[in-house]
């Protein structure tokens, strides 16, 4: 694969691959780092890949090994990782989903996020854009960790329902 094709594909599929890694490791910050590793490996191996290969499928197979290696390295940490079968099963969803479906989903998510009340949007931003720990958020807002966690759960669920509703209306879900 030519380097231009590789870089274009990495840019084009970055969020899908990051989403895949997030589903596998349960932590977006880790997923971002692992994505860098996936990209480096793909770059090293680009000459083995055909110009028109199934890019996400290729990324999935590399991501699977990267996550397994990471899990092995983190064996002593108190972090519970999914087993191989679960990793594989959720990663396959990304491989099997056509790119336009993710594109439509992203647009729907953006529309739904725009409608969030400013307070909720700000808390989401602090947590998910700036990776602020829940404990710090709770302390700065003089509330409990549980209250912040519940709020995040409620807002994410509302966002997901809003996206589903939009996709259903558009007949794309």
Q: What residues from 30 to 89 belong to the interface with another protein (CB under 8 A)?
A: 30-45, 48-50, 53-58, 61-62, 64-66, 69-70, 73-74, 77, 79-80, 82-83, 85-86, 89
Distances from the Cα of 112 to the Cαs of 92, 108, 123, 146, 168, in angstroms?
A: 27, 6, 16, 25, 14
Task: Indicate the burial class of 85 (C-beta count within 10 angstroms; 0-12, 13-18, 19 or more).
Answer: exposed
Give least dist CB 168 to another protein, A: 13
Site size toward another protein (CB under 8 A) is 109
In whole angstroms, give the CA distance from residue 124 to residue 160: 14
Query: Tokens in use for 78?
Result: 């108190």
Considering beta carbons, is residue 29 or 170 the nearer one to another protein? 29
Q: Using an 8 Å Cβ cutoff, are 63 and 24 in contact?
A: yes
Give least dist CB 159 to another protein, A: 7
Site map 117..136 versus another protein, x via CB under 8 A: -xx-xxxxxx-xxxxxxxx-
Residues 90-109 interacting with another protein (rule: CB under 8 A): 90, 92-99, 102, 105-106, 109
Residues 142-161 interacting with another protein (rule: CB under 8 A): 149, 152-153, 156-157, 159-160
Helices (H) and strands (E) in the chain, counts: 8, 0
Give least dist CB 114 to another protein, A: 4
Cβ within 8 Å of residue 58, ≥6 positions away: 42, 49
Give least dist CB 171 to another protein, A: 17
Give least dist CB 151 to another protein, A: 11
């Amino acid at each position: 694969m030519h380097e231009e094709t590789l870089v274009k594909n990495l840019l084009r599929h970055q969020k899908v691959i990051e989403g895949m890694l997030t589903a596998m490791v349960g932590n977006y910050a880790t997923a971002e780092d692992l994505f860098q590793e996936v990209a480096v490996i793909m770059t090293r191996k680009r000459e083995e890949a055909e110009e028109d290969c199934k890019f996400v499928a290729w990324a999935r197979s590399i991501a699977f090994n990267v996550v397994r290696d990471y899990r092995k390295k983190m064996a002593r940490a108190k972090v519970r990782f999914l087993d191989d079968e679960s990793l594989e099963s959720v990663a396959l969803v990304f491989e099997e989903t056509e790119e336009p479906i993710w594109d439509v989903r992203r647009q729907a998510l953006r529309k739904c996020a725009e409608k969030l009340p400013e307070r909720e949007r700000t808390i989401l931003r602090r947590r998910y854009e700036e990776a602020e720990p829940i404990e710090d958020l709770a302390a700065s807002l003089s509330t409990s960790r549980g209250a912040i966690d519940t709020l995040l759960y409620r807002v994410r669920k509302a966002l997901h329902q809003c996206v589903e509703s939009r996709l259903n209306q558009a007949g794309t879900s």
